[in-house]
Structure 1
Amino acid sequence: MVYVNTKKRAARDVFDSLPQVDRSAVDDLLAQELRQLGRKIIVLDDDPTGVQTVHGVSVYTDWSPESIEQGFAEEHPLFFILTNSRGMIASETEAVHRQIARQIAEVADKRNQPFMLISRGDSTLRGHYPLETQTLRETIEAQTEIVFDGEVLLPFFQEGGRYTVDNIHYVQYGTELVPAGETEFARDRTFGYRSSHLGEWVEEKSGGAYTAADTTYITLESIRALKIDLIAGQLQRVTDFRKVVVNAVDYVDVKIFAIALLRALKAGKQFLFRTAAAFTKVIGGISDKPCLTREELIAEETGTGGLILVGSHVKKTTEQLAELQNNPAIRFIQLDSHLVLEPARFQAEVDRVVARCEELIASGETVAVYTRRERLDLGPDKQEEELQLSVNISDAVTSIVQRLTVRPRYIIAKGGITSSDIGTKGLRVRRATVAGQIKPGVPVWKTGAESKFPGIAYVIFPGNVGTTMTLRETVEILEGCGQR
């Protein structure tokens, strides 16, 4: 494969060069189309951070027929199922997606209710792709009369600085847009990649099964010119599960594309979706909501401290942790995660951390527990072994919440695998409601009555979102001393 040459671009130059559109007219058109959709929208989220744009929707942490049926029965058109598949090996995620797809098809058939299926993935392109959407396609097509014409790829996520321009996906660092293939995310030991051009990324990840040449590209020029019929026509011509790349640098771009998409769906086309969090908000018709206040999150003063758990190892998380450590009111405990290679010593280390957390939280002090910042490196071709060790470390962090006997004032979890395991295994949540965001792209669950700490504010802080200050600012809001 010949990779398209890419280079950094000045963000302001890109944004300022695009023509403006009548946003209120776009909103009106989208609302008209959404009223006619008539489908239940199901989002399969590969870690809990995918709810970082929505509010007032349910997240189910299992995929039993009962939970899926409950989601279908809700008045809201959209619900999430947390798969946490980014923390699984390939064979596990394939099995999980086959099971989920079968059960969705059965419930939809029982209720005679059409549905739309979104695979919510990472905005920096990490994850089990194309395995997950290919598995969904095969299973749904084998069990129903649905035939998917194509797959829409839309990794735009404004809150995190992820933009697609000229078919190249960018991550914003300061004032620059850096091609995704040149970032630390592309060097991920489990989910790494080379190409920033999304057509070539598809070709790379699919081993040539789908090519850049056969990919359909929805351009910003067409979007900003409001060529909705032209875009709908492009979608009408997609067949054989070929891919559709959507360029976007603003929510209005996603909305304009969605209008064309909804018209294509109404004409009988069928698509699967691999998107970041922005598309779920738009297609779910979810309104904007101001960031949450402390008063909305802390229902009662318990006299106990908060609990912050940091597992993510991306550079941004490490920088945010360093800034948080400048807050003298927080007590910090390092968990020596490298002891995972020595099980007895690792268990003793976890016991030490749990005992100290219990003591400090009960006395009213807020505690931040963080794993060692250096990643374990087992050498070449050891990605699955390293992923398993990361799961073992996450289990240890989760056990802190499992073993607590005192209820913290709030809980923050930093990182996708960490936040999923704490929510499902530590807090034992089966269904949560997304309250909104405490900072842009930083969602908060309100836990259900079945959970270990019912109604607690559980902040799910993605590893790669925010500025250096955002974690500290989030904690200070919850502590009652932060400025919004």
Structure 2
Amino acid sequence: MANVELDQLLAAYPPVDKAAVEARWKEVQPSFTHKIIVLDDDPTGVQTVHDVSVYTDWTEETIEKGFLEEGQIFFILTNSRAFTRKETEAEHRAIAERVERISQKYKRPYMIISRGDSTLRGHYPLETEVMRATIEEHSNTKVDGEILLPFFKEGGRLTVENIHYVQDGNVLIPAGETEFAKDRTFGYRASDLAEWIEEKTSGAFTAKEVTSISLEQLRALEIEAITEKLMEVSDYGKVVVNALEEDDVRVFSIALMNALNKGKRFLFRTAATFTKVIGNISSRPLLEREELIDPASTNGGLIIVGSHVQKTTDQLEALKELTMLHFIEFDCHLVRDKTAFSAEVERVKQEAEAQVTDGKTTVIYTKRERLDLGKGMEEEELKLSVQISDAVTSIVAGFAVRPAYLIAKGGITSSDVGTKGLRVKKAVVAGQVAPGIPVWKTGAESTFPFIPYVIFPGNVGNVTTLKEVVSLLEGI
């Protein structure tokens, strides 16, 4: 499948009629009152929103708190991309059962969004399939279908004619031909989302059965026709949504709200843009240093780099150009030697504490080569990666000095640092410090209350973005 020039693709479609979209949105959105629960398989799903709650557990009490919030949308950080299949299945069964029970208690309809990686990695179709079965078991309704919408412009993820692309400069690369498709745990071949569904479901849903919402329909504002398409979906049929701009997602969402208000029921596997649009969350300017850093702090910041995708490694190399920072390589390959690994963790922690206390921002990064145990050992590798992540988060949890700020690079890394290192139970998303890079303000219960915690996805930004974010926070 060939690469595509972004400029040529954008020129191939008529522009969005923004005024008409806004008018239709104002007609429909006030009638849409479903509670929106976003299950985030790592913390990067809040990369488009602000002033929303993120909970880090899914007890019945926590889910009920989310339902009772004034806001329409709340997030639950599941971190399921770091889980085994068995753990993921148990987690999503419990969540779906509790959500359905609380919905019935308060007689409020809801929608569950499984927010997954915009480069198509994660436990799909397992998570949504488990929830579908659980919801149908505990309610008197059937789930009519599943919506797939991985568009995320800030990260350069665009879907055109069902082909999902990853942007690199002005070039769009079919997702199945990127490094993300070669993921050892969640790899795939197809770039056409209909074919990807067939691949991932092992043929249970074929490509020709998938309903497609085209850019032509969206740009022509064929809202009634799209609504009718959704009304015809049944038997948990799959729907792929194409999008080049956020307004394409808004047009689709208008039709979707119409269908939901008429009683249709869907599950969703989407990237971050859909959560912002359906939650009716406004855009806001990027966060400034003055909004994040306490001027009274004399300590350095702390940066944890765990992701092993090539983009992260390139960004780390660019970050090393900031010579005022202190860098520590954590030899995570020692994980198979318990004594040596424990000593390595303690060495890294003590060195980092000394540097941060001295006012020097410190970067702890895991050894860049992946731990490769060989073919067929993916589950064992995942378990070792969890042990490595636990070690990194133990450094944060036991850190003897409060950093001026904290950055975690990588989805699983940032989840574990937030939940196990910072011990966050509930955070508020302050906004984004760069496109697609969210900031939490931690709760009073956390290891470092109200610290700015920057969640930096492994697959977002260009080669200099990490360096630019750190430069902003350092005031240079």
Output the TM-score relative to the length of structure 1: 0.97
After superposition, residues 122-137 of structure 1 pair within 5 angstroms as 122-137=117-132
After superposition, residues 277-296 of structure 1 pair within 5 angstroms as 277-296=272-291
Equivalent residue, structure 2, for 1:439: 434
- 1:60 is aligned to 2:76: no
Superposition deviation, residue 32 in structure 1: 2.7
Equivalent residue, structure 2, for 1:145: 140
Q: Over residues 153-189 of structure 1, what are the superposed CA-to-partner deviations in whole Å (9 max), with x where a residue is unaligned?
A: 0000000000001111000111111000000000000
SS at match of 1:94: helix
Given that 1:294 and 1:478 are in contact with CA atoms closer than 8 Å, whether structure 2 keeps it comes out as yes
Equivalent residue, structure 2, for 1:8: 3
The amino acid of 1:99's aligned partner reads A
The amino acid of 2:171's aligned partner reads E
Equivalent residue, structure 1, for 2:177: 182
Given that 1:31 and 1:285 are in contact with CA atoms closer than 8 Å, whether structure 2 keeps it comes out as no
Superposition deviation, residue 399 in structure 1: 1.0
Distance in 1 between the 2:51 and 2:27 partners? 21
Distance in 2 between the 1:219 and 1:465 partners? 26
What is the aligned counterpart of 1:104 among 99, 109, 115? 99
- 1:334 is aligned to 2:329: yes
Q: Over residues 402-437 of structure 1, what are the superposed CA-to-partner deviations in whole Å (9 max), with x where a residue is unaligned?
A: 111110000000001110001001111000000000
What is the aligned counterpart of 1:198 among 193, 201, 204? 193
The amino acid of 1:374's aligned partner reads E
What is the aligned counterpart of 2:26 among 23, 31, 38? 31
SS at match of 1:396: helix
SS at match of 1:108: helix
SS at match of 1:368: strand
- 1:169 is aligned to 2:164: yes
The amino acid of 2:436's aligned partner reads G
Superposition deviation, residue 343 in structure 1: 1.4
- 1:473 is aligned to 2:468: yes
- 1:365 is aligned to 2:360: yes
Q: Over residues 294-349 of structure 1, what are the superposed CA-to-partner deviations in whole Å (9 max), with x where a residue is unaligned?
A: 11111342211000000000010000000000001110000001111211111101
After superposition, residues 364-443 of structure 1 pair within 5 angstroms as 364-443=359-438
Distance in 2 between the 1:37 and 1:207 partners? 35
The amino acid of 2:412's aligned partner reads I
Distance in 2 between the 1:275 and 1:210 partners? 18
Q: Over residues 12-53 of structure 1, what are the superposed CA-to-partner deviations in whole Å (9 max), with x where a residue is unaligned?
A: 100111101221321232233221111100000000000000
SS at match of 1:308: strand
The amino acid of 1:186's aligned partner reads A
What is the aligned counterpart of 2:267 among 272, 289, 294? 272
Superposition deviation, residue 453 in structure 1: 0.7
What is the aligned counterpart of 1:75 among 70, 81, 94? 70
Distance in 2 between the 1:431 and 1:104 partners? 18
Equivalent residue, structure 2, for 1:232: 227
SS at match of 2:112: strand
The amino acid of 1:203's aligned partner reads E
Given that 2:294 and 2:404 are in contact with CA atoms closer than 8 Å, whether structure 1 keeps it comes out as no
Equivalent residue, structure 1, for 2:204: 209
What is the aligned counterpart of 2:301 among 297, 300, 306? 306
Distance in 2 between the 1:229 and 1:299 partners? 51
Q: Over residues 25-84 of structure 1, what are the superposed CA-to-partner deviations in whole Å (9 max), with x where a residue is unaligned?
A: 212322332211111000000000000000000000000111111111111100000000
Given that 2:286 and 2:434 are in contact with CA atoms closer than 8 Å, whether structure 1 keeps it comes out as yes
Q: Over residues 218-263 of structure 1, what are the superposed CA-to-partner deviations in whole Å (9 max), with x where a residue is unaligned?
A: 0001111111111111111111001000000110110111111111
More displaced 10-residue stretch of structure 1: 406-415 or 32-41: 32-41
Distance in 2 between the 1:425 and 1:441 partners? 23
Q: Over residues 268-312 of structure 1, what are the superposed CA-to-partner deviations in whole Å (9 max), with x where a residue is unaligned?
A: 211110000000000000000000001111134221100000000
What is the aligned counterpart of 1:20 among 9, 15, 27? 15
What is the aligned counterpart of 1:51 among 46, 61, 71? 46
Output the TM-score relative to the length of structure 2: 0.99
Cα RMSD (Å): 0.8
- 1:260 is aligned to 2:258: no
What is the aligned counterpart of 1:220 among 215, 223, 226? 215
The amino acid of 1:155's aligned partner reads P
Given that 2:406 and 2:452 are in contact with CA atoms closer than 8 Å, whether structure 1 keeps it comes out as yes
Given that 2:157 and 2:165 are in contact with CA atoms closer than 8 Å, whether structure 1 keeps it comes out as yes
The amino acid of 1:221's aligned partner reads E
Equivalent residue, structure 2, for 1:346: 341
The amino acid of 1:153's aligned partner reads L
Equivalent residue, structure 2, for 1:449: 444
Distance in 2 between the 1:395 and 1:416 partners? 14
The amino acid of 2:75's aligned partner reads F
Distance in 1 between the 2:234 and 2:165 partners? 28
Given that 2:286 and 2:435 are in contact with CA atoms closer than 8 Å, whether structure 1 keeps it comes out as yes
Superposition deviation, residue 106 in structure 1: 1.5
TM superposition outliers: structure 1 runs of 4+ over 3 Å: none
The amino acid of 1:355's aligned partner reads Q
**Identity over aligned residues, as a percent?**
59
Q: Over residues 418-461 of structure 1, what are the superposed CA-to-partner deviations in whole Å (9 max), with x where a residue is unaligned?
A: 10001001111000000000000000000001111110000000
Unaligned runs of 5+ in 2: none
Distance in 1 between the 2:262 and 2:418 partners? 40
Q: Over residues 107-139 of structure 1, what are the superposed CA-to-partner deviations in whole Å (9 max), with x where a residue is unaligned?
A: 111112111110000000000000000001000
SS at match of 2:207: coil
Distance in 2 between the 1:442 and 1:474 partners? 9
Distance in 1 between the 2:121 and 2:275 partners? 18
Unaligned runs of 5+ in 1: 1-5
Equivalent residue, structure 2, for 1:3: none
Distance in 1 between the 2:465 and 2:296 partners? 24
Given that 1:301 and 1:409 are in contact with CA atoms closer than 8 Å, whether structure 2 keeps it comes out as no
Superposition deviation, residue 397 in structure 1: 0.9
The amino acid of 2:139's aligned partner reads T
Superposition deviation, residue 142 in structure 1: 0.5
What is the aligned counterpart of 2:112 among 106, 109, 117? 117
